[in-house]
Amino acid sequence: MPQDSLEASPSPRKRTRAGAPRRATVPQILNAAEWTFGTRGLKGTRLEDIAKVCDIPKGNILYYFGSKEDLYNATLSRLLDVWLTDADHWLSSDKDPLDGLRGYIEAKIAFSRARPEGSRLFAQEVLSGGHMVQDFLRGELRAHVARHVAIFLEWQAKGIMAPIDPTHLLFLLWSGTQAYADMQVQYEAVLDRTPLTDGDYETAVTTLMTLVRPLFSQPASGALEADENKTLKRSL
């Protein structure tokens, strides 16, 4: 029940069996809120818009959540919960690096495709200064980064990964994958396709993998095709 943590629930004292409408409505509101906040921002969103999507009177939203800002926070926190856990387990020091990275990249791209509004919501928030997610950024996210950086460093210590700044590499993986949600309309306009196709998202993964692969190559398989006749052993 991650989303309940921030919810201003009006005294759920006695374990009432009522609240059937509540259990149905609250997640519905959160979904609609994620969509609307993600595309229109906090200020750009009217509670009535969310209400209309849910087909409920706008007052009800303020009944379930105390205020517009509270709803915004609840929506954000539900999102952040999914986020990290989703891609976190892909990278570990014992797995094959390239397999792990491919899984990570595919997971991030899949998220951008499946829940673009979520990605956009977070982007909107960070873009606007990220005041609502300061704790998250300085806490959970920093820990998440530290874990992944440690893995990269381990690989580099073992000599199986090229010397590249681990943190900035992560930044590039984030931005490259999330942009397929955040900059979606830009990409659609450039590619002249709405929506983007399966093939487009596959190409996205392939392109990222092509850039990442040489970091692990002995020496550089895949950079140029049809070229397997080269020195395959490295100095280590």
Partner DNA sequence: GTCTATATGAAGATAGAC
Partner DNA sequence: GTCTATCTTCATATAGAC
Q: Which residues bind its own copies (CB under 8 A)?
A: 39-44, 120, 123-124, 126-130, 134, 137-138, 141-142, 145, 162-165, 167-169, 171-172, 174-176, 178-180, 182-183, 185-187, 189-192, 203-204, 206-208, 210-212, 214-215, 217, 219-220, 223-227, 230-231, 234-235
Q: Are 191 and 206 in contact (CB under 8 A)?
A: no
Of the candidates 33, 56, 74, 91, which one interacts with DNA according to CB under 7 A? Answer: 56
Nearest to 104 by CA among 208, 181, 218: 208
> Could you tell which of its own copies, DNA, none binds residue 1, using a CB distance below 5 to 8 A set by kind?
none
Which positions from 126 through 185 interact with DNA, judged by CB under 7 A? none
What CA–CA distance (Å, rounded) separates 42 from 46?
9
Of the candidates 69, 165, 202, 227, which one interacts with DNA according to CB under 7 A? Answer: 69
- Helical ranges in 55-114 per DSSP H: 58-64, 68-88, 97-114
Near DNA by CB under 7 A, which window of 42-50, 96-104, 162-170, 217-225?
42-50
- Radius of gyration for the alpha carbons in the chain, expressed in angstroms and rounded: 22
Q: Judged by CB under 7 A, does residue 124 bind DNA?
A: no
Nearest to 44 by CA among 121, 157, 132, 111: 121
